[in-house]
Amino acid sequence: MATLLQINSSLSGDNGHSSALSNEFVQRWQKNNPGSKVIVRDLARHPIPHLDAERMHAMITPADKRTATQRDIVEYSDQLIDELRRADVIVLGVPMYNFGIPSTLKAYFDHIARSGETFRYTSNGPEGLLGNKPVYIVAARGGIYQGTEADSQTGYLNTFLAFLGLKDTHFIYAEGLNMGGEHQQKALDSANNEINRLAVA
């Protein structure tokens, strides 16, 4: 039985375009994968604590030297990583806020990037440990940024995910959503067509 991990990061919850489109992807994927399991992590409803000195030190302290508080912090991170390991497919709903990814998604990334767990350094450079599995990224933007210098998301997400071993990325763009009703509808239709193509692949 296949397992899909859905991670939504819109501050608007299910009302955000990125969440609505990623929900649509999951629904179509489930129809083509009967009996599958879906794990949903909504970073607006259940935000990840931002990385601070206490959390960083807990993660780099050897296991046998951690305090009780540090063990709790690492256990929380372990739970997030376990979700990724169990997933066969990952779907990210990513709006663009101030030319970047949501801070809640960055906080999530900071908790899953752990040496010896999701990556390791070798004589040939870093090696991702999550194993390659498809990652579908629904990128919703108010303006049009794809292929321009202002698109800080695509390169960053590809770099970070590849660092963990996740190199099979597929972007679904919905752009110009704040540029008027006709343009918005055209963007949503285009994104839905791409979702339909990828969800049945």
pLDDT surpassing 80 at residue 73: yes
Query: How many CA atoms are closer than 13 Å to the CA of 43, on its beta-carbon side?
Result: 28
What is the per-residue pLDDT for 1?
83
Q: pLDDT grade, residue 33 (50/70/90)?
A: very high
CA distances (Å), 92 to each of 14, 123, 179, in order? 13, 32, 24
- Domain range for 132 is 3-199
> Average of pLDDT values for 176-198?
93
Assign residue 134 the CATH number of its domain.
Answer: 3.40.50.360
Is the distance from CB of 111 to CB of 121 less than 8 angstroms? no
DSSP 140: E
Tokens of 171: 């972007």
In this prediction, residue 30 carries a pLDDT of 95
User: Which of 15, 38, 42, 18 shows the shortest CA–CA distance to 27?
Assistant: 38
pLDDT digits 0-9 by tens, 130-147: 988 999 999 999 999 999
What's the pLDDT score for residue 63? Answer: 95
Tell me the mean pLDDT in the region 137-160: 97
Cβ-based burial of 193 (10 A; exposed 0-12, middle 13-18, buried ≥19): exposed
Per-residue pLDDT tens over the stretch 91-132: 999 999 999 999 999 999 999 999 999 999 999 999 999 988
Mean of pLDDT values over 77-96: 97
pLDDT for residue 114: 96
CA dihedral for 175, 149, 198, 35, sign (positive or negative): negative
Question: Torsion over CA of 193, 194, 196 and 201, rounded to 10 degrees?
Answer: 150
Length of the chain in terms of residues written: 201
pTM, two decimals, is: 0.95
Distance CA 39, CA 3 (A): 7
- Report the number of distinct structural domains present in the chain: 1
* Residue 9 clears pLDDT 90, i.e. is over it: yes
Mean pLDDT for the chain?
Answer: 96
Q: Write out the two tokens for 67.
A: 């305090």
